[in-house]
Structure 1
Amino acid sequence: MHMVIKAVPGKGRLQPVGYLFCFLIFLIAAFLITPASTFAQEQASPKAAVTGLVTDADGHPLGYATIKVSGGKSSQTDEQGKYLIKGIIAGNHRVEVISVGYQTASKEVQFFADSTVEASFVLQSGSALSEVVVTAGRKAESIKEVPSSVSILNARQVKEQLNINPSVAAILGNTIPGLGTATNKATNSGQTLRGRQVLVLIDGIPQSTPLMNGSRDIRTLDPAVIERIEVIKGATSIYGNGSAGGIINFITKKPAADQIFSGTSSVGLSGNVAHPKNTLGYRFSQTFSGTINRFSYVVNGTYNYTGVQRDAKGNVNAQPDGLGENALYNAFVKLGYHVNENSDITASYNLFRSTQNSDYINSVGKYGVNPSVGVKGDDPGEPAGTPYNHNVLVSYHNKALPLNSALDISAYYNGFISMNRYVAQGTAWYGPGQTKIQSFKKGVRLTLNTPWKMGAWGDGELTYGLDLLNDRTNQILTDGRVYIPDMNMVNLAPYAQMKMDLLTNFILKAGIRYENADVKVKDYNTIARGPNNQGSIAVTGGKIPYNATTFNAGLRYNKFELFNPFVSFSQGFAINELGRILRSATSNTLESITTDPIITNNYEAGFSSTLGKLNVTASYYISKSNLGANLVDNGNGVLVAQREPENIHGYEITADWLLSQQWTIGGSYAYVEGKSKQANGTNVYLNGLRIAPPKATGYLGYRPSQLLDMKLFWVHTSSRDRFDVRSNGLYANSEGPVKSINLFNLVANYKFNSKLSAGLGVENLFNNSYYPVVSQYRAIDAEYVRGNGTTMNLNFYYNF
């Protein structure tokens, strides 16, 4: 399966191979739909139905659990844990319920024609690898109906990791195969997914700033408001700009459906165990939730202060943009109104703020010799971090439109400020300075879903809609100088995604998306690199058009639990870091600046397998693009974008085994490698900003009773040494060698009673002295900082 897309400003052309591929996809669809009338009489025969409620052991409804009836019928529970499946042939059938993080439950049910049977289930906690509903195709569906790799963290897993480290970047880096490990900083620079940039969403609202990547998009909310995290891997043409590596979608908390007033209060303390001086931190979080008649609500406020961070030897880690002496605020409100049984309105607001106010400044060390450490002092700049990130969302859902169609429409606003560290001497501008990226997005997302019947051949559905996005992004210095001019993008993108359940067990998907974007840039001057405006260039503004059509297609076969394979092809579109190109302009007009978008072709094959209590997944992928986005040292320490063709490949393996009711074990391994092709035909490795070293994870869980649950986690990053020193005897920016790292984390949860519980987390359990991956590959003296020594987090939770 192969197609080539050529996209240039103002044009988007699908090569002949692509036309043939798409024609075959829709030819197959037409062929399969045609026989539907032959079986219309059979479909009209009397059938039965089943309904019920799915809850956990504490009686809380489990939304989005998968319900399967032997014979092929399946559905999912709604947010209240309720489900209804119609069209079941009369007779005896097995009804099975599967939900991530819980043991599968099933029962034999006898069905009678023209009647509805009630079958409710209570699920017990169990294996972490199971089915769950995801939004990979803009519609809730079973993970085993998605022909691509998906990783899910549910609320219980997020809470476990929060007790170890409350940073969302650390939570994901320690658990998601293919995602780089966290940097121990407020930024997620280098934390790519499968070697490419990832699109970060909160309830579908884009947080990433692809016009100028500020590398703070992963850490944009507190885990206290997260219901689950969905990570869709590989380029996707469903969500548009910036998703070359995949999608991270944070799904926020939902209201408690079975109580008028409920909530969770939590308090916590943190600090370095081996060297505790000034390391004390504290955390407060309060959540209220409930449903009153047709109204529902969730309200949360969280404050998290991190004390001084010290390495295993007791040195202060005073790196700029660090998390030491960092104050985090998060305010979250979600309100819902249940119009009727078919429609709902939801409105939400989330404010995130995280800034560093440190009493220490960096005493610069020597890369490869001794670390940079903190000494008492004052930083003349403004506090670095995220001064604010606002998210506003209003959505409407209706599942009773004509033709059994469902409608989801949402309007959103995102305001995001990213403050970089102060530098006494800039490398890209004259004198000292401190930059901040300002990004303001507003948009509308329209999604429609229409099912259809194909008789004995199976069922099908079409998901289609329109995305409208206005993204204004710039980068300025706090003294008023403009580093990157205001880029005003309007992007209109219609899309359609077809899904067919063929012969019960084959899931065929194919989709198309048309990107139509214009970026307006006013007249501007590049920033001066010397006194008296030396080096500044006046550039005439204008409008840069981008048009491209992207495609995806995939097939999954899910008849056998033992072997559930898939193959897929998908494309991603990105106007990647246009700001970096504009600020480095050497010409006077936009027309002479190369700004072509990046079209990524992603090929993947994989499978999932369940054998008793053992679950295994594996996948292999190839990611190609004719234009690249690699940032390379220009010889002066400044990273500039390279546009050479890129070829990335890798594989991932995961396994989880429920040994008994008390013991669980599992792990993962992810490998990725990539090269760019230079003009002379030479293939050159991509640097550390793009390619993470191989990563392995493992865990051992022990649950001696319903009151106590413990897990030991292992995170390993292997070595990677791909580059030689340059003529000056030093490694270029982001080309330093990486040595292997082994870290162990421990978490224990104890339930005193039904309301009161405690969580203890220990990060870097054995006080290993190490340099994080980013500190190693960056090869910069000021950023050569050790990781944290043994750090403990103790949290108490009270549920009411």
Structure 2
Amino acid sequence: MNNQQHLVLTLAFTSALVAAPAWSQTTEEPTPAQPSSEMQVEPEPPIYLKDVELPLTSIEAWSTQWAQAIAQITNIQLNPTAQGVEMVLETLNLPLASPIVSVVDNTLIIEIPDAALALPGGSEFRAERPAPGIVAIEATPSTGNGVQIRLIGETSAPTVQVTGRDRSLTFSISSAPSSAEIEEIEVVVTAGRTAQAVQDVPRSITIINRQQIETQTNVTRDMRQILGKLVPGFGPPTNEANPRSIVQSLRGRSAAILIDGVPLTSNYGLDRELRTIDPDIIERIEIVRGPTAIYGGQATGGVINIITRRPTGRSLEVNLDANLGVSLTHPRDSFSNDFGVGVSGTEGIFDYLLSVRREDRGAIFDAQGDRIPDTGGGSLIDSETYSILAKAGFNFDEQQRLQLTFNFYDGRQDTRFISDPSIRQIPGIQKARPLAVNPTIRGTDRAGDRRLVANLNYSHEDILGSRLQAQAYYRDYTSIVGAEDFRGGFFDAIVRQRAGGDKWGGQLQIETPLPFLNDRTNLVWGVDYVRENNKAPFEVFDPVSFDRDNTLRKLEERTFVPLHILNQLGLFAQLQWEISDNFLLNGGVRHERIGVEVEDYTTFFGRPIQGGNLNFNATVFNIGSVYKLDEAVSLFASFSQGFSVPAFGGILRNPPAEFTSVRQNLRLTEAVKVNNYELGIRGQWQGGQATLSGFYNTSDLGEDYAFTGGVSRLVRAPERFYGIEASVDTRLNNSWQVGTTVSWVEGENKEEESGDYLPISTFSIQPLKWTFYVENQTTRRWSNRLQFLFVGGRDRAFKAGVDNAEINPYFVVDYLSNIQIGSGTLQIGIQNLLNSQYFPVHSQVVGGFNETFNAAARGITFTVGYQIRF
């Protein structure tokens, strides 16, 4: 064998052993990198040439191919980061092969085979002091048609994480001192309104990253389903036949839903916000569990902050994906499809992102092959939706950034079926069934949701030593439910609700270091303001047209929920004090001034109600501590208060007989104030995490709902909630990963002062939830996941006469698979793999009051899609 053939075999053998990495490495010996779902660099799985016999002619032909396949590195870009520096290698002709990493003393050496430097400045690159702790970065040609990159540290070798695209490699470089450090420091912003490592937060936190979201979209694009399967303490997935998340509380109480810090939840409490979120626009989701007032009111159960995607650092990146879905129990009429396109990039000081998606969903069918009817109006059944996210950002210099974000969602339903009301005449609780009506709508819109959010952000990293963030936003929404025939019933008319409103506000926060304590302590302080308008008239339809030809012809609008205006001004301060390397203390205070304005109005039934202005004040505190037992395990404890004003729509639309004036019935309108106590232990290690926590909270005047004549009635009574949550994720080896979550919550309230505490309704308290998953990287290009969901039964509230039905348990299995084919990924999902016939908690609890809501869950459903980036 000549030298050329020997060199070819050596390169091929080395390349076959190395996979595309996303790792941190500081050991003395070269270490194979781990697979990355983002990176596609080799077309074949590993081949061990010592076990393969090749004729000499094949070796010569292979040698010629390899000599021509040299990736030309045309640009090396360095971008400062909070941890160090990001280095991006770009090519114009071919993808870069997998790098090989080794460490010698304080230098990390990266060898990239089959590559050459073709830089504008020549065939070498050097950057002096690109980041603290890093002396230099050098790139030079190496022997054997390759490029060698040397990362020289001051006292120890830097660490690096690698991600890849088709024609670029990105190296996230930090000067971490040793491989004993945790592989990746997970940072959360929502808990304290500024970046903190999860290990430093004295609260229960769940972070859902982009990869997890993309994996879940193999089986569903409904965020209510995704969060229900991934977040402990959050209610199990709700029924797709209804657009609301009414039976999806967070630890038994309401959650504030934010998008990039902008509050989506309205005081009216429609619980339809998650239905209007396209998972394709999400970069990550941060969930703080337990009452908090860090962002204001309405977060007595916690905060769900949805953070939208960021522009890429490349000059241009395009994402395309398309998906098809079908029911395997009844394929006809069940086909759904969606298509999305995304474009993003950076040019100088300007960066941008545009994401557009269209979805067309058909009917859904249960495990018995029966059509599932829409039970709320405007659900995802037989719907067409559009979603747009647009961003434009300007980095004026290293310190200042301005960003404008525009997010629009429009989902409309066009179904020929309603839930058959005649089942209420059949003894026992029946399964909701469809009734074909083929309605025609005149004089109004189809049922569904429309939402617009515009958001302007400005940040300055150093103003007199402080970091400033300012935000102004506007939100507008319209939600239209389905028409119902109430003739002879509570409303004695054919009506539907058309809720709408807007919200505008601003936030200003300043993060100030406190060096007189130490250089690891800071104070976050600022002010929030929001003005919110809500109303919900009833559309009344012509009964003659409806009976004659199923035409919904609008006759008039009548008051259901009058216009009411909510103003909130909040002042806050939050201290983050790292007392020592092992002990941290967080604490804060928020003072809120709340005003409500309601004009005189007449209820749907003709009762006059005198309006007026109400004013509330609330001052709440929080304090928490973290004690680190070692670098991986920490204990945390906290006391926190949260508050909310009740949903005034729930009071004003159907007020009790004694309610004649807004200003005179203060008990119904008084704010909810919650005291929460929590203890927990958290561990993070290379490739895994575990958390166990317990909580107890009380409120002297709570907010619960009971049904009267099919319409909810507000119940104000003392409440107490308590529960336990646990989660574990661990990578067993390079191929296998497993994880589980368990959450259990209970609660009682005391409606009568002289009575006993009674179990709170399952509207608020969901049964025990257990999830488990197992993932396998079957080959370098093929991964598989099985995930399991068990929801337990609950009969406490039924036996106490609070619920009208007991909750029965159920068990569901999903299968998800990703296969890298060509430059993209084939995504396969099977929802309800075992084709279980079951009723979600939402259907069971609401169906106990009205059987037309008792819809079964969808049966086995197959989804296939393809995603490509270039």
- If the TM-score is normalised by the length of the shorter chain, which range does it land in? 0.7 to 0.9
The separation in 2 between residues aligned to 1:410 and 1:301, in whole angstroms, is 24
1:11-410 paired onto structure 2 within 5 Å? 51-53=84-86, 92=155, 119=175, 131-183=186-238, 184=240, 185-210=242-267, 212-257=268-313, 259-321=314-376, 322-364=379-421, 365=423, 369-379=429-439, 386-402=448-464, 404-410=465-471
Of 618, 621, 636, which residue of structure 2 is paired with 1:548?
618
Of 488, 499, 507, which residue of structure 2 is paired with 1:445?
507
> Are 2:795 and 1:721 equivalent residues in the alignment?
yes
> Are 2:769 and 1:695 equivalent residues in the alignment?
yes
Tell whether the 8 Å contact from 1:443 to 1:469 is kept in structure 2 after alignment: yes
Displacement, 1:138? 0.8
Displacement, 1:454? 4.4
Q: Secondary structure at the match of 1:173?
A: helix
Displacement, 1:503? 1.1
Q: Secondary structure at the match of 1:219?
A: helix
Of 825, 830, 835, which residue of structure 2 is paired with 1:757?
825
Q: Secondary structure at the match of 1:164?
A: coil
The separation in 2 between residues aligned to 1:367 and 1:220, in whole angstroms, is 37
Of 795, 802, 817, which residue of structure 2 is paired with 1:748?
817
Displacement, 1:680? 1.6
Tell whether the 8 Å contact from 1:459 to 1:501 is kept in structure 2 after alignment: yes
TM-score, normalisation: structure 2: 0.76
Tell whether the 8 Å contact from 2:134 to 2:158 is kept in structure 1 after alignment: no
Equivalence for 1:39: none
1:594-636 CA distances to partner (integer Å, 9 max, x unpaired)? 31000111111111124665521111011211111110124x3
Equivalence for 2:720: 647
The separation in 2 between residues aligned to 1:629 and 1:379, in whole angstroms, is 37
Tell whether the 8 Å contact from 1:669 to 1:694 is kept in structure 2 after alignment: yes
The separation in 2 between residues aligned to 1:375 and 1:515, in whole angstroms, is 49
Equivalence for 2:584: 507
1:574-609 CA distances to partner (integer Å, 9 max, x unpaired)? 112112112233333222223100011111111112
- Give unpaired runs (5+ residues) of structure 1: 1-48, 61-81, 101-116, 529-535
Tell whether the 8 Å contact from 1:323 to 1:356 is kept in structure 2 after alignment: yes
Of 837, 842, 850, which residue of structure 2 is paired with 1:774?
842
Cα separation, partners in 2 of 1:383 and 1:708, compared to 1, 3 Å? farther
> Are 2:631 and 1:570 equivalent residues in the alignment?
no
The separation in 2 between residues aligned to 1:387 and 1:637, in whole angstroms, is 23
The separation in 1 between residues aligned to 2:586 and 2:858, in whole angstroms, is 45
The separation in 1 between residues aligned to 2:347 and 2:274, in whole angstroms, is 34
1:373-522 paired onto structure 2 within 5 Å? 373-379=433-439, 386-402=448-464, 404-425=465-486, 429-454=491-516, 459-478=520-539, 479-522=556-599
The separation in 2 between residues aligned to 1:647 and 1:653, in whole angstroms, is 21
Tell whether the 8 Å contact from 1:458 to 1:502 is kept in structure 2 after alignment: no
Tell whether the 8 Å contact from 1:567 to 1:606 is kept in structure 2 after alignment: yes
Displacement, 1:565? 0.8
Equivalence for 1:30: none
Equivalence for 1:675: 748
Q: Which has the larger radius of gyration?
A: 2
Displacement, 1:273? 1.5
The separation in 2 between residues aligned to 1:517 and 1:651, in whole angstroms, is 33
Cα separation, partners in 2 of 1:56 and 1:684, compared to 1, 3 Å? farther
Q: Secondary structure at the match of 1:296?
A: strand
> Are 2:650 and 1:589 equivalent residues in the alignment?
no
The one-letter amino acid paired with 1:278 is: D
Tell whether the 8 Å contact from 1:361 to 1:379 is kept in structure 2 after alignment: no
Equivalence for 1:526: 603
The one-letter amino acid paired with 1:256 is: T
The count of residues paired between Structure 1 and Structure 2 equals: 693
The separation in 2 between residues aligned to 1:178 and 1:301, in whole angstroms, is 32
Cα separation, partners in 2 of 1:740 and 1:767, compared to 1, 3 Å? same
The one-letter amino acid paired with 2:346 is: T
Tell whether the 8 Å contact from 1:615 to 1:656 is kept in structure 2 after alignment: yes
Tell whether the 8 Å contact from 1:275 to 1:310 is kept in structure 2 after alignment: yes
Tell whether the 8 Å contact from 1:207 to 1:220 is kept in structure 2 after alignment: no
> Are 2:682 and 1:608 equivalent residues in the alignment?
yes
Displacement, 1:209? 1.2
Cα separation, partners in 2 of 1:607 and 1:724, compared to 1, 3 Å? closer
1:648-677 CA distances to partner (integer Å, 9 max, x unpaired)? 000101011211100111111000001002
The separation in 2 between residues aligned to 1:519 and 1:411, in whole angstroms, is 22
1:659-670 paired onto structure 2 within 5 Å? 659-670=732-743
Tell whether the 8 Å contact from 1:151 to 1:176 is kept in structure 2 after alignment: yes
Cα separation, partners in 2 of 1:472 and 1:118, compared to 1, 3 Å? closer
The separation in 2 between residues aligned to 1:167 and 1:392, in whole angstroms, is 23
The one-letter amino acid paired with 2:608 is: A
Q: Secondary structure at the match of 1:308?
A: coil
The separation in 2 between residues aligned to 1:87 and 1:551, in whole angstroms, is 42
Q: Which has the higher contact order (CA 8 A, sep 6+)?
A: 1
Tell whether the 8 Å contact from 1:697 to 1:715 is kept in structure 2 after alignment: yes
- Give unpaired runs (5+ residues) of structure 2: 1-81, 97-128, 136-152, 164-172, 540-555
Alpha-carbon RMSD across the aligned residues, in angstroms, is 2.9
Equivalence for 1:75: none
1:434-460 CA distances to partner (integer Å, 9 max, x unpaired)? 0122121000010100112246x6621
Displacement, 1:223? 0.5
The separation in 2 between residues aligned to 1:297 and 1:234, in whole angstroms, is 35
Which moves more between the two structures, 643-652 or 539-548?
Answer: 539-548
Displacement, 1:642? 0.8
1:329-375 CA distances to partner (integer Å, 9 max, x unpaired)? 10110110111000100001111112221122222435855311224
Cα separation, partners in 2 of 1:461 and 1:705, compared to 1, 3 Å? same
Q: Secondary structure at the match of 1:766?
A: coil
Q: Secondary structure at the match of 2:691?
A: strand
Cα separation, partners in 2 of 1:56 and 1:273, compared to 1, 3 Å? farther
Q: Secondary structure at the match of 2:218?
A: helix
The separation in 1 between residues aligned to 2:604 and 2:461, in whole angstroms, is 53
The separation in 2 between residues aligned to 1:614 and 1:287, in whole angstroms, is 32
> Are 2:785 and 1:707 equivalent residues in the alignment?
no
The one-letter amino acid paired with 2:868 is: Y
The one-letter amino acid paired with 2:535 is: N
1:167-218 CA distances to partner (integer Å, 9 max, x unpaired)? 11111111111111222232111111000011001111111112x2111022
The one-letter amino acid paired with 2:723 is: G
> Are 2:858 and 1:797 equivalent residues in the alignment?
no
Displacement, 1:681? 3.3
Tell whether the 8 Å contact from 2:787 to 2:813 is kept in structure 1 after alignment: yes
The one-letter amino acid paired with 1:452 is: L
The separation in 1 between residues aligned to 2:360 and 2:317, in whole angstroms, is 26
The separation in 1 between residues aligned to 2:266 and 2:744, in whole angstroms, is 27
Tell whether the 8 Å contact from 1:266 to 1:795 is kept in structure 2 after alignment: yes
The separation in 2 between residues aligned to 1:480 and 1:592, in whole angstroms, is 28
Identity of aligned residues (%): 26
